[in-house]
Structure formats: C-alpha cells, structure tokens
Amino acid sequence: MNNDLEIYFTKKSAPIILEAFGKSINGDGYIIDSESKELILTPENEEIHISKFGMLKKGSEIFVKNDLASIINHVEGNY
Amino acid sequence: MRNTHPKSVKKEDVIRIIKEYSEKKGAIIILDEDVFLKDTDNWYSWDPKNKILNLNTEVIINEGYKKDLFEIIRNFFDSNVGFKDLSIRPTVKSYEEYYDQSPDKELLNFFKSNIPFDDWMALKMSLFLRFQDKKGKPIAYLKEDITSKYGTRGANIANLCTIDFFEDEFKPLFNQLEVPKFKEYYEHVVGERAKVLFVSSKHDLEALTDAFLKTLNKCKTHGIRSFKMYARASQNISVLKKFVALLDAKKDENFTQDILFEEFSVVKVLEDSEIPTVAFEVKLTKYIK
C-alpha cells in the first residue's frame, strides 16, 4: 500500500464515505450510526453536521470536523 | 492531458485501475470532484502531471459496483489511509507548512501556562491566521472558525495577534508585573476590550463614536491611561480618519453624543500604506483608579 496516498471526498461523495462505514445523516443533517441511530461524536465530544464533516481517520473510526481547531489537532498528531 | 476511460465499466477494470493508480508515489484520489464531474461522464480520469485519480462514484454505483467500491474504500482505511474533505486540503497543507517552520513556537510556549487554555488555543489559531495573512492568503474563514469556537474573546485575541500585541505588550508586561496584576490587565484587554478599539466595516461614524466612548469609559474606570484605535483596509481607515478629524475639531455639533474633549488627546502612531493600516493613540488626561 502506498503510504503517501491521499483520498479526498467532496460534498457529493461525503455520504458515500459515511455509508461505506455504516453511517448516515439524520433529518437534522447530523452524522449518525445507521443501525443504532446514535449521533457520532468527534474526539471533542461534538456532534457533526454533514456540512462540518472534515475527516475520517484511523484509530477505530475517528470523525473530525473541518474547522481550523480540528485541522490543527490533526496536523499536530493529537488524534 | 488526462487519460479517460470509455463509458462501459467492467468490475475488474474498476478494481485494477484504482489499485494501479493508488500505488503510484504521491497519488491522490478524489471522489466526485466538481470540475471532473462537469467535464465528463466517465467513471474515472487520471491526471499524470498532478497524479490525481478522479472517480465518479455515481457512475461506478449505477454500473452495479457499490459493494466493490465500499470494499475498496474500507481496504484503504484498513491500510491506514484516512479520508479528508477536499475543501480543507489547502488549509491542511498550509498548516503543515506553518507547523514545520514553527515561527511562533517560542511565543506559544511562553504563554502556554500564563493565559487560560482556551485563550491559548485561540492564540494558536490566531498566529496561524496572521501567518496566512502575511502571505496574502484568505483569512475570513479562519477568523470565522476562531469566533465560532471561542466567541468574541477569540475574535479579540485574533485582532490583538494581528497587531503583535502578545509580543509587544503582553510578553514584556508579564515580565514586569506581578502575576495577579498581569492577569487583571490581560483580562481588561482580552475580556473587556478596554485597550484596543478595532474599526471594522460595521462602524459608521455614529457606531464608532459609541464604541469610542465605551472604550474611553472602560479605560477611565480601570485606570488605563491610553488605548489605541486601529483600522485596516481603506474603507475603515477612511472612517477612522474622518472620526479623528472631527475629534480634533472639538465641535459639539459634529456629534450626537456629549464628548468631553478635554479628557483625552489623540495622536497618530502608525500609518502603513502597504497593508494598509492606521492607528491612533488616545491618551486619557483624566481617569479614575
């Protein structure tokens, strides 16, 4: 496997990524587990609106927002 | 020049093509990039110059390969490849560059245990914003993120950061004052915005007069002897200069509120046409300790 590989999704393909991992979006636009219907939380214990979905990282599954604080934590290896 | 594939899609081609291009050094896969989707109804394209593999998931799924696509996605994930929103790519790359250079590491280390943690995080974000600003990169969305997370306090820290306030004022003061005194002063500036007034697009002359009087009164109440008024961008500079000219004229009829002109003096302390920015210092001649 190419360790340099980067994969990006867009607004259109974000739901595809979610569905591949058994997640979906509830009526209010927040990411939920498709089976349990529980809200998916970030490492900061925040709910994620689909418009704020920034990353899906390894470490079981870590859902991260697309805001600056999350980007800083990602780059600095805090997740 | 991009290589594209004719419309008919075979399952083995989907798997082979994705595997082949994903293994190239420096390869990037983008799922459903807008420009690619508008240009073609092919299921993929490979840009050899930029090493970008564009995939059209709708075509792949319509051809009946949803399950295979999901398996490919999960295999990437199991091999430690994460997925990112394409729109944040420029910011991630910029922050990686900034983090590698660490131009503000010393300043951040200095304040880490000297200011509240949330303020320190806002400072960290603001220093990056300043870095981007100096490079002429867009910053409005970064400011919005800071304000969204840390409110008016965060916005104030971002503004103070832009004018090097942490280096030029807070750091020397921390070394001069007893800790409780520094904290009190810090709170006045960051929490109560007593020391600096930023002129923004929301300030017309009347709003600026109001903000000026509020800042003046806060300084009088807390025994702060001066404050600065900053404006960046030509429109804000114009409003501020007009306001200062009216203050200098000292005529009551120019203002809808009472102003005690003898309580302060105003002096220009900065004008930079390159940025552009202008700053005036307001020195209080009367204050209550």
ω into B103 cis (within 30 of 0): no
Residue B24 region by backbone torsions, left for phi larger than 0, else alpha for psi between -120 and 50, else beta = beta
What 3 state SS string does chain B have? Answer: CCEECCCCCCHHHHHHHHHHHHCCCCCEEEECCHHHHHHCCCCEEEECCCCEEEECHHHHHHCCCHHHHHHHHHHHHHCCCCEEEHHHHHHHHHHHHHHHHCCCHHHHHHHCCCCCHHHHHHHHHHHHHHHHHHCCCCCHHHHHHHHHHHHHHHHHHHHHHHCCHHHHHHHHHHHHCCHHHHHHHHHHHHHCCCCEEEECCCCCHHHHHHHHHHHHHHHHHCCCCEEEEEEECHHHHHHHHHHHHHHHHCCHHHCCCCCCHHHEEEEEEEEECCCCEEEEEEEECCCCC
ipTM: 0.92
Q: Is the CB of A67 less than 8 angstroms away from the CB of B148?
A: yes
Give the pLDDT score at A1. 62
**A46 — pLDDT class (breaks 50, 70, 90):** very high
Which residues 8-47 in chain B show a CB within 8 A of chain A? Answer: 22-34, 37
Q: Please give the pLDDT value at position B1.
A: 43
- Contact call for A10 and B30, based on CB within 8 A: yes
Q: Does B94 touch chain A (CB under 8 A)?
A: no
pLDDT of the residue at B195: 78
Tell me, what's the pLDDT at B73?
A: 94
Strand partners, B283: B226, B265
**pLDDT digits 0-9 by tens, A14-29:** 999 999 999 999 999 9
Q: Is A31 strand, coil or helix?
A: strand
How far lies B261's CA from each of A63, B126, B230, B242, in Å? 57, 36, 20, 16
Strand order in the sheet with B52-55: A61-65, A53-58, B83-85, A6-9, B28-31, B52-55, B44-47, B3-4
Please give the share of chain A, as a percent, with pLDDT higher than 90: 89
pLDDT band of residue A39 (cuts 50, 70, 90) is very high
Whether the CB-CB separation of B215 and B227 falls below 8 Å is answered with yes
Question: What pLDDT shows up at residue B270?
Answer: 86
Q: Which of residues 135-194 of B touch A (CB under 8 A)?
A: 142, 145-146, 148-149
- pTM of the complete model: 0.79
The pLDDT tens digits of the residues spanning B157-178 come to 998 998 888 998 889 889 988 8
Q: What parts of chain B have a pLDDT lower than 70?
A: 1-7, 192-194, 275, 287-289
List of chain A residues whose C-beta atoms are within 8 Å of the C-beta of residue B26:
4
The candidate with the shortest Cα–Cα distance to B44, out of B56, B32, B35, B59, is B56
CA distance B42 to B36: 9
The overall average pLDDT reported for chain A is: 94
